Amino acid sequence: MNFELHTHFVIDAKRFTTAEFLSEYFLESSFEFQIQQFVQEWLCDDFQIEAQTSGTTGAPKRVLLSKAAMKASAKKTASIFQLHAGSTALLAMPIHYIAGKMQIVRALVNQWDLIIQTPSSKPLENVTHPVDFVPLVPNQVVDQISFLKNVKILLIGGAPISKLLWEQLVALRNQLEISIFQSFGATETVSHIAIREVAGDFDSTFYRCLPGVTVETSTSGTLTILAPQLTGVPVLFTNDYVTIQSSTSFKWLGRKDFAINSAGIKIHPEIEELKLIDQIPLPFVIIGIPDAVLFEKVVLVLEGATEIPRNIYSHFEKLERHKRPKAVYVLETFPRTETGKIKRLEVRRLVENLKS
């Protein structure tokens, strides 16, 4: 019997074998039906699976991924977190993106019990029993900290963690028997290729590559990944600026797509935002907009504010002078991907329209 058939799917505390799950009737609009369709696709004889990128830096793209690479990634995850057959895992993310697909593949390849929760911002509220492995995105974690007592290993990915959330999780980790990690990866790397433990100082913790993965930097300072068993190519070039500590560890600085060139100085807005996150209560982003003198002017954009807070400019003093926002704008809502990432390039276009 194919080893994938030893996996169990858990829905509302009811446990199904793979065969039972595939024969169960679900509404076509349901999350369970989507999972059912993917499992059937995984078990067929095709060598590839189609996935969709998140669309953070532009229109989502469809890419073909090797099942062999996905299987290799699933085994690496089980090995590094010491998860064995019969472990429990939670699926609470959309499956047309790589994170959701890979959680199903991990369960199938490693013979886990997969607990299914329809994706939402509060995925843990109905989880009443301990779960070994739970991957979530940051906005799913923020409102669920009090529910993490049932989680053994939490893996956070899909977007950066704020310094404030990091410190909350470190405090929680010291109170509970929970291991917390942040992941780094992409659709093209079939999920994470590196992790860093949420422990200790936020600014000094580096990502550590999974076994068999090494990294370098390109001439422009962006990350290159050497993991042909996962990527299908000898070298994968990314648009992520990093500081390399060794061939298997690095510190993420920000996306090349979002870097701001202000008066010849390169500014990584994601890094500056983390310095302000505990000072500004509303969602915000820092972007660069065209400027006749500076080339790009650094500005801060707030979401949902009825007015600009009077003291907001005083918070900018935490930043180096040339990195401080020169203006503040307000948008009613930010355009976001389905996984909660803010579409920064669209925010920039909306702000430019406000100016015109």
Q: 45 and 145 share a domain?
A: yes
Range of the domain at 146: 3-211+242-253
pLDDT at 339 over 90: no
Q: 247 and 296 share a domain?
A: no
Q: 198 and 274 share a domain?
A: no
Q: 106 and 19 share a domain?
A: yes
Average pLDDT of the residues in 126-154 = 92
| Residue 191 forms part of a structural domain | yes
Q: 318 and 177 share a domain?
A: no
Mean pLDDT, rounded, of the chain: 91
Q: 298 and 329 share a domain?
A: yes
Pair 189, 167: CB distance under 8 Å: no
- Return the exposure string of 285-316: e unless at least 16 CB atoms fall within 10 Å of the residue's CB, then b: bbbbbeeeebebbbbbbbbebeeeeeebeebb
162-204 pLDDT, tens digit per residue, is 888 899 999 999 898 899 999 999 999 999 999 999 998 888 8
pLDDT of residue 222: 93
CATH, residue 269: 3.30.300.30
State how many domains the chain has.
2
Q: 119 and 264 share a domain?
A: no
Q: 329 and 247 share a domain?
A: no
H helix or E strand, kind and range, residue 349: helix 344-355
pLDDT of residue 58: 57
pLDDT of residue 56: 61
Weakest mean pLDDT among 16-30, 44-58, 108-122, 191-205: 44-58
pLDDT of residue 177: 87
| Residue 69 forms part of a structural domain | yes
61-87 pLDDT, tens digit per residue, is 788 899 999 999 999 999 999 999 999
| Residue 49 forms part of a structural domain | yes
| Residue 150 forms part of a structural domain | yes
H helix or E strand, kind and range, residue 192: strand 191-197
CATH, residue 127: 3.40.50.12780
| Residue 8 forms part of a structural domain | yes
| Residue 222 forms part of a structural domain | no
d(CA 115, CA 127): 9
Q: 122 and 171 share a domain?
A: yes
pLDDT of residue 2: 59
Backbone φ, ψ for residue 3 (5° rounding)? -65, -25
d(CA 59, CA 99): 18
pLDDT of residue 164: 81
93-115 pLDDT, tens digit per residue, is 999 889 999 999 999 999 999 99
pLDDT at 3 over 60: no
Q: 316 and 196 share a domain?
A: no
Q: What is the percent of the chain where pLDDT is above 90?
A: 66
Q: 192 and 84 share a domain?
A: yes
225-264 pLDDT, tens digit per residue, is 999 999 999 999 999 999 999 999 999 988 888 889 998 8
| Residue 145 forms part of a structural domain | yes
pLDDT of residue 180: 97
- Closest-CA residue to 196 (of 251, 240, 235): 251
161 Rama class: left (phi>0) / alpha (psi -120 to 50) / beta: beta
pLDDT at 55 over 80: no
Q: What is the percent of the chain where pLDDT is above 70?
A: 96
Residue 1 — very low, low, confident or very high, per pLDDT cuts 50/70/90?
very low
- Of 232, 253, 274, the position where a domain reaches its end is 253
pLDDT of residue 59: 61
Residue with tokens 């169960």: 24
| Residue 341 forms part of a structural domain | yes
- Of 203, 229, 253, the position where a domain reaches its end is 253
Q: 279 and 134 share a domain?
A: no
Residues 6 or more apart whose CB falls under 8 angstroms from that of 29 comprise: none
- Of 220, 253, 286, the position where a domain reaches its end is 253
